[in-house]
Amino acid sequence: MTTSVVLFTRDLRLHDHPPLRAALDGSRAVVPLFVRDRAVDAAGHAAPNRLAFLADCLRDLDAGLRERDGRLVVRSGDLVEEVCAVVGEADADEVHMAADVSAYAHRREDLLRAALNARGCRLHVHDAVTTVLAPGAVTPASSDHFAVFTPYFRRWGERPVRAVLAAPRRVPVPDGVGSRPLPSRRDLPGLSPGLPAGGESEARKRLTAWLRGGITGYADHHDDLAGDATSRLSPYLHFGALSAVELVHRARRRGGPGAEAFVRQLAWRDFHHQVLSARPHASTLDYRTRHDRWRTGAGAEEDVAAWKNGRTGYPIVDAAMRQLRHEGWMHNRGRLLTASFLTKTLYVDWRVGARHFLELLVDGDIANNQLNWQWAAGTGADTRPHRVLNPTTQARRFDPDGVYVRRWVPELAGLEGRAVHEPWRLPGPERAAYGAYPDPVVDLAEGLDRFRRARGLD
C-alpha cells in the first residue's frame, strides 16, 4: 500500500473523478492537491472572474473532502516544484492527474513526469476526465485528428463512453502536509456583478434542474437570445465541477430531441479539444490561414473600443457585449454574432477578440474560445469560412421582439418591437430622443465589401 498525490487542475469535483478513484484504489492515503500555478498567472490567464469562480470551486471541493474525513491541500508557486515538495512531505509513491490538451498542459505534464521520475515517483495521467473521449480516441484514416465536425461527430457517437464513477465515501489524508489558506472571491476586485457561484455542489443542483426542465426544449429554443434557454453549465464544465462523461450518460438517459441536441454540443467541446491537442499552436496561429492582413491603426482601435464597450451602434452586438461584461458569460448566439462582427464586418484580428473574451468569460477556455473564434473568423474548422453574419438579420431572427436588446441596452428601452434593432432608421426627431445611443460604426454593406476584397472574393 502506498500514499498517492492527486493533483487537481481543472477537474474540481469528487463525483466521477478517475484520478481520485485510481489513487484511492491503490493507496492507504491520498493527498488531494491544488497548486495555484505561477505560470498560468504569468501567461495572463488569471482573469478575476475565473479566479473568483475557481475560489468557489476550491472551497466547495475542500468542504466535500472534509465531509469524507479529508481536506484539500492548496499550494502556490511553480507547479512542478510544489508537487515534488508535497510528494516529499507525504512520502508519496505516485501522482495522479487528468490529461489536458493545451501546449502548456503538454509541457507541464512532461516536466512533471521527468521531475517525479528522478525522485522515483510515478506520474499517472488519466484520459476522459476533462472530455468525454480522449483526444485521438477517434481519428480519420489520413490524419491525427478530425478537421471537420460532422464526420467527427458520427464517429464520436459510435464510441462507448466510460462508466460514471461514484464519489468516494472516505478520503483519508495523511498529517504533516502544509497548505496555504483557501482563496476567497471576496478578495478579488473588478468582478462582473452577475457572476454565477462556482463549485461542484452548485453545479450538481443546476444540472439536476436542467435535466428536469430546460433540456426538453433545448433543440427548439437554444438560439433564442431572450429566452436564455441553454444550460449555462459551461463554467462548471470548464473547471471540471461537472464531468462531461456524466452529462452525456444522464442526458442520454433522459432522451428526446433536446437531450440529443445537448449531447451534440458536448461533442463540439470534445471536437475543439482534439483539434487543439493535435495542433497546440492553434491557440495563437491560424489553423487554416486565409492570408488575412487584418486592420490595425487608429481607426481599427476605435472600432475595437466601441465593440468592447457595447457601443457599435448595432444594438444586438452591443447587447451581447454588455451581457459579457455584466455576467462574465454570453449566450452562444451572441458569441457567434459579435465574433463575426469583429472579424468580418470590422475586419479585426480574431486574436484581439479572443483576448477580450478571455479577460471576462467565466468559462474562458483555450480550446473552446480560441477555436470558436477561429471558426467565426473563417480561419478555423468552418466549412463556409467566408460567411458573414448580418447583425440586423440575426437580431430579427434570434430576438424577434427585441426583448434581449431592451434588457441590455437601456438607452433603447423605449423602442417597441423590432424597431429597437435599427435605431438609425428612426425619423430625425425620434432618433434625437435616443441620442445617448451611438450611430453605427460602419455601414454593413461597406464592411462586407471590405471583407470580401480582403479575402480576394470579388
Residue pair 114/84 in contact (Cβ under 8 Å)? The answer is: no
Is 231 among the annotated ligand-binding positions? yes
For the chain, first and last CA: distance in Å?
70
Choosing from 365, 381, 398, 402, the residue that interacts with ligand FAD (CB under 6 A) is 365
CB of 409 to ligand FAD, least distance (A): 20
Question: Toward ligand FAD, which CB reaches closer, 50 or 311?
Answer: 50
**If binding is defined by CB under 6 A, does position 265 make contact with ligand FAD?**
yes
SS3 per residue for the chain: CEEEEEEECCCCCCCCCHHHHHHHHHEEEEEEEEEEEHHHHHCCCCCHHHHHHHHHHHHHHHHHHHHCCCCCEEEEECHHHHHHHHHHHHCCCEEEEECCCCHHHHHHHHHHHHHHHHCCCEEEEECCCCCCCCCCCCCCCCCCCCCCHHHHHHHHHHCCCCCCCCCCCCCCCCCCCCCCCCCCHHHCCCCCCCCCCCCHHHHHHHHHHHHHCHHHHHHHHCCCCCCCCCCCCHHHHHCCCCCHHHHHHHHHHHCCHHHHHHHHHHHHHHHHHHHHHHCHHHHCCCCCCCCCCCCCCHHHHHHHHHHHCCCCCCHHHHHHHHHHHHHCCCCHHHHHHHHHHHHHHCCCCHHHHHHHHHHHCCCCCHHHHHHHHHHHHCCCCCCCCCCCCCHHHHHHHHCCCCHHHHHHCHHHCCCCHHHHHCHHHCCHHHHHHCCCCCCCCCCHHHHHHHHHHHCCCC
Spacing of C-alpha 365 from chain mean position? 4
CB of 40 to ligand FAD, least distance (A): 15
**If binding is defined by CB under 6 A, does position 322 make contact with ligand FAD?**
no
**If binding is defined by CB under 6 A, does position 335 make contact with ligand FAD?**
yes
Question: Toward ligand FAD, which CB reaches closer, 83 or 237?
Answer: 237
- Gap between the Cα atoms of 321 and 71, Å rounded: 40
Is 447 among the annotated ligand-binding positions? no
**If binding is defined by CB under 6 A, does position 374 make contact with ligand FAD?**
no
Determine the Cα angle at 103 with ends 237 and 385, to 5°. Answer: 75
CB of 218 to ligand FAD, least distance (A): 7
Is 364 among the annotated ligand-binding positions? yes
Residues 190-229 that bind ligand FAD (CB under 6 A): 222
CB of 233 to ligand FAD, least distance (A): 5
Determine the Cα angle at 231 with ends 242 and 381, to 5°. Answer: 85
Choosing from 123, 339, 348, 420, the residue that interacts with ligand FAD (CB under 6 A) is 339
CB of 38 to ligand FAD, least distance (A): 22
CB of 100 to ligand FAD, least distance (A): 14
**If binding is defined by CB under 6 A, does position 266 make contact with ligand FAD?**
yes
Question: Toward ligand FAD, which CB reaches closer, 34 or 268?
Answer: 268
**If binding is defined by CB under 6 A, does position 58 make contact with ligand FAD?**
no
Binding segment for ligand FAD (CB under 6 A), chosen from 103-111, 117-125, 332-340, 434-442, is 332-340
- Gap between the Cα atoms of 99 and 112, Å rounded: 12
Is 179 among the annotated ligand-binding positions? no
**If binding is defined by CB under 6 A, does position 372 make contact with ligand FAD?**
yes
Choosing from 29, 336, 348, 360, the residue that interacts with ligand FAD (CB under 6 A) is 336
Is 232 among the annotated ligand-binding positions? yes
Question: Toward ligand FAD, which CB reaches closer, 30 or 207?
Answer: 207
Is 233 among the annotated ligand-binding positions? yes
CB of 191 to ligand FAD, least distance (A): 17
Residue pair 259/219 in contact (Cβ under 8 Å)? The answer is: no
**If binding is defined by CB under 6 A, does position 231 make contact with ligand FAD?**
yes
CB of 266 to ligand FAD, least distance (A): 5
**If binding is defined by CB under 6 A, does position 268 make contact with ligand FAD?**
yes
Choosing from 211, 233, 248, 321, the residue that interacts with ligand FAD (CB under 6 A) is 233
- Gap between the Cα atoms of 366 and 224, Å rounded: 26
Residues 104-163 that bind ligand FAD (CB under 6 A): none
Q: What phi and psi, each to the nearest 5 degrees, are found at residue 125?
A: -110, 125
Residues 388-407 that bind ligand FAD (CB under 6 A): none
The C-alpha cell that represents 146 in the structure block: 478530425
**If binding is defined by CB under 6 A, does position 274 make contact with ligand FAD?**
no
Question: Toward ligand FAD, which CB reaches closer, 113 or 279?
Answer: 279
Choosing from 45, 232, 254, 407, the residue that interacts with ligand FAD (CB under 6 A) is 232
Question: Toward ligand FAD, which CB reaches closer, 27 or 368?
Answer: 368
Residue ranges for the binding site for FAD?
218, 230-234, 262, 363-365
Give the residues lining the site for ligand FAD (CB under 6 A).
222, 230-234, 237-238, 262, 265-266, 268-269, 272, 332, 335-336, 339, 357, 361, 363-365, 368-369, 372-373, 376
Annotated binding site: 218, 230-234, 262, 363-365
